[in-house]
Amino acid sequence: QVQLVESGGGLVPTGGSLRVSCAASGLPFTNFVMGWFRQAPGKEREFVASINWNGGRTYYADSVKGRFTISRDNAKNTVYLQMNSLKPEDTAVYYCAAPSRITNPTMLLTRSYEYEHWGQGTQVTVSS
């Protein structure tokens, strides 16, 4: 059974930094592209970042490019999202996600329907 468990959310002031983590189990993590999404109250879930199997390729939403960094530690089956220069509009529940199957090693996935497995989410609140 695939499990994704996020942690590290919290309350930070505008301009602050936070790192959220996602520990994965029940899947061959090393072979899987991983993604981060977020959902703010009253809004649809949106793509944040994606990372390929070995971390050699990443892709970001325009809204977070240059401020957020996705990374992974395959030895720990964990994917991270380092968030810097946080803004109030970054306030949301952050979810990590994994697809249902192994993909091309260079592939990145940016659409929620491409992911099968989701964590429970971790709340990030940026105060103004």
Encode pLDDT of 21-72 as tens digits. 999 999 999 989 999 999 999 999 999 999 999 999 999 999 999 999 999 9
Please state whether beta strands 46-51 and 122-127 pair in parallel, antiparallel, or not at all (unpaired).
Answer: unpaired
Q: Is 90 exceeded by the pLDDT of residue 106?
A: no
What local confidence, expressed as pLDDT, does residue 105 receive? Answer: 85
What local confidence, expressed as pLDDT, does residue 102 receive? Answer: 85
Residues 126 and 51: their CA atoms lie apart, in Å, by 25
Could you tell me if residue 85 is left (phi over 0), alpha (psi between -120 and 50 degrees) or otherwise beta?
Answer: left
Residue 21 structure tokens: 């983590």
Give the dihedral of Cα atoms 32, 33, 36, 42; nearest 10 deg.
-90
What local confidence, expressed as pLDDT, does residue 13 receive? Answer: 98
